[in-house]
Amino acid sequence: MNKTARNSLVLIITILAAALLLVAQRPHSSGKHAVSLPGTQADMPFSRGIVAGNMLFVAGHEGSDNGKLRPGGIGPETQSALEQVKQVVEAAGFQMTDVVSTTVYLADIGEWGDMNKVYKTFFPEPRPTRAAVQVKLGGGARVEISAIAVKTH
């Protein structure tokens, strides 16, 4: 190796080492922050959504408006729950196309079909993965839905 090539290599290695040293000394940020929505209760013991890096974790939302279940059963409750999920997704700077997974909690698994009629209108193809389970929900709710979104662009 000639002297010019050796000097160039030393210079490149020195620049790379300096860059690595700067990155290592920079304070690490968790990149984690809560998503809040105007008009929501601030005293709740959870966040509506948490952004961590390029991911968004949306809390479960029931089908309620202003703290009261939307009347009409599973269809209107599903509509309300997904509207709330969408509000959190958009408030965090994500889109519904970024949602990769949802969990649907149903008070009666027999209402699966009616829930699906509304659910599919919120998610274009390819739709997110999903788990759906029957559980006892509080306050007479028929459905609760949570979501995970990932920004890939």
Residue 11 binned pLDDT confidence (cut-offs 50, 70, 90): very low
Q: How far is CA 87 from CA 24, 40, 48, in A?
A: 37, 12, 10
The pLDDT of residue 35 is 86
* Domain membership of residue 106 as a residue range: 32-150
Residue 41 binned pLDDT confidence (cut-offs 50, 70, 90): low
pLDDT at 24 over 80: no
Residue 26 in domain: no
Residue 132 in domain: yes
| Lowest pLDDT segment from 38-52, 54-68, 121-135 | 38-52
Residue 5 in domain: no
d(C-alpha 118, C-alpha 131), whole Å: 16
* Nearest C-alpha neighbor of 105 from the set 137, 57, 140, 70: 137
Residue 18 in domain: no
Total structural domains in the chain?
Answer: 1
d(C-alpha 129, C-alpha 119), whole Å: 12
Residue 17 in domain: no
The CATH number given to whatever domain includes residue 117 is: 3.30.1330.40
The tens digit of pLDDT for each residue in 78-96 reads: 999 999 999 999 999 999 9
The pLDDT of residue 55 is 97
Residue 87 in domain: yes
d(C-alpha 74, C-alpha 33), whole Å: 32
- Burial letters 93-128, b for 16+ CB under 10 A, else e: ebebebbbebbbbbbeeebeebbeebbeebbeeeeb
Residue 24 in domain: no
Q: Which two tokens stand for residue 6?
A: 């050796």
Residue 14 in domain: no
